Structure 1
Amino acid sequence: MRYFIAILIFVIVATVSILGFRQDKFTQTPIWVFPDMDIQARYEPQGKNEFYANQMDDRPIVPGTVQRGYGWEKKQVFSGDYQWDVIDNPSMYSGKKENGDWYEGFPVEVTPALLQSGKEKYDIFCLVCHGDTGDGNGITKKYGMAATPSYHTDVLRSMPEGEIFNTITNGKNLMGAYGMKLNPEERWAVIAYVRALQLAGNATVEDVPQQNRRDLGL
């Protein structure tokens, strides 16, 4: 028992000697036993840096840097005739109507060029999970990934385009967000291509224009 008391006293004295009493002010830099993420070798915003001539951490943008955000320019923003697309066409960037409901339809003109762009982006970002026809039988399914829903269901066929836009932008369940990889117009292009896949997967002969039926052997 006496050894235990001696060891306990020693531990207490050692702890107080190293860490000090509670609420005491350190006159020297305290000892960081587990610094973890408290001390990081990084540059702070608007911090001082003796290495550079202007002694600032903030550096000019490297030429060729990929733009983030909406690309505001002061000369444009503070000019009298400045127009902001986000205000002029809010559904284009939010997928919602002014009353907050999901936008139905497309806030951009659906053209063959837009569909082609949608196919290209779909093949890059979506096909691996959703499959080339949108049936959910993508490459990832072969490797044991959870089943990807098919686009050819009544739920997804009737889903407003704005809600699909929101899913692409922010992700849902196991699907990650693609808002940082696809700009708004590209997201709408993908949605237009998805609608084309849905139409093709549930179409009948009557949906094919008369002048194109001969090309399909109909």
Structure 2
Amino acid sequence: MAWISRIGWAMACVLPLAACERDMEDQAKFEPYEAAPLFPNGQAARMPVEGTVPHDDPPAEPVQPQVTLAVLERGRERFDIYCAPCHGRVGDGAGMIVQRGFPQPPSYHDQSLRQAPDRFYFDVIGQGFGRMFSYANRVAPEDRWAIVAYIRALQLSQHATLREVREAGLESRLGAAR
């Protein structure tokens, strides 16, 4: 009786192979630059449909938005979710993950990172850097720019001079906040 089930399994495996043919490869078709009387211009190659995006073109990068209060609030929200566990709520590199024994990331307040261009932060969020993995599939490009704006606000909060505060017109707001 066991030999019948073995034959059944063998047939189930072999029968699909009998259906394999080269019909798709051997079918009648036009080569890309071959003359084709079927079409009005006589060519087999067709122009893409209007609005078609080639699959190998990189997606358009979003432009860095103007920094507004809404952008900063969105950046703070995204920063607290994705960045603060390692980088800390103020960007000093002393996040909760570090307190649990993981390696400390650099502080955003280091001189070299304060001088880094905005695009550097955007690229690091999207591609990762050192031990940090890519957040490209978690953080949308618009949110990456919002996080960059918030990082700049954190840096300014720790290193702004009184002159910079006055020039930005923030002195009256700071006095009202006290």
Q: Determine which of 57, 72, 83 is the counterpart of 1:115.
A: 72
Say how many residue pairs are matched: 124
**Please, what TM-score do these two structures have when normalized by structure 2?**
0.63
- CA distance in 2 between partners of 1:77 and 1:144 (Å): 51
- CA distance in 2 between partners of 1:153 and 1:133 (Å): 13
Q: Determine which of 51, 55, 58 is the counterpart of 1:77.
A: 51
Higher helix proportion (structure 1 or 2): 2
Determine helix, strand or coil for the equivalent of 2:86. Answer: helix
1:154 alignment partner AA: Q
Determine helix, strand or coil for the equivalent of 1:147. Answer: coil
* 1:197-212 equivalences in 2 (<5 Å): 197-208=154-165, 209-212=170-173
Structure 1 counterpart of 2:4: none
Structure 1 unmatched ranges of 5 or more: 1-28, 30-73, 80-84, 93-105
- CA distance in 2 between partners of 1:160 and 1:134 (Å): 17
Change (3 A) 1:147 1:108: same
- CA distance in 2 between partners of 1:118 and 1:213 (Å): 21
Structure 2 counterpart of 1:148: 105
Structure 2 counterpart of 1:182: 139
2:102 alignment partner AA: M
Shift of 1:76: 7.1
Q: Which runs of 4+ in 1 moved over 6 A?
A: none
RMSD of Structure 2 on Structure 1 (CA): 2.5
2:175 alignment partner AA: R
User: Higher relative contact order at CA 8 Å, sep ≥6: structure 1 or structure 2?
Assistant: 2
2:131 alignment partner AA: L
CA deviation string 1:141-182 (max 9, x = no partner): 111111211000111001111111111001011101001111
Shift of 1:213: 3.4
Change (3 A) 1:215 1:160: same
* 1:48-59 equivalences in 2 (<5 Å): none
* 1:1-218 equivalences in 2 (<5 Å): 77-78=51-52, 86=60, 90=61, 92=62, 107-208=64-165, 209-217=170-178
Determine helix, strand or coil for the equivalent of 2:78. Answer: helix
- CA distance in 2 between partners of 1:205 and 1:216 (Å): 16
Determine helix, strand or coil for the equivalent of 1:128. Answer: helix
- CA distance in 1 between partners of 2:67 and 2:98 (Å): 31
1:170 alignment partner AA: Q
- CA distance in 1 between partners of 2:158 and 2:71 (Å): 20
CA deviation string 1:23-57 (max 9, x = no partner): xxxxxx9xxxxxxxxxxxxxxxxxxxxxxxxxxxx
Q: Percent identity?
A: 36
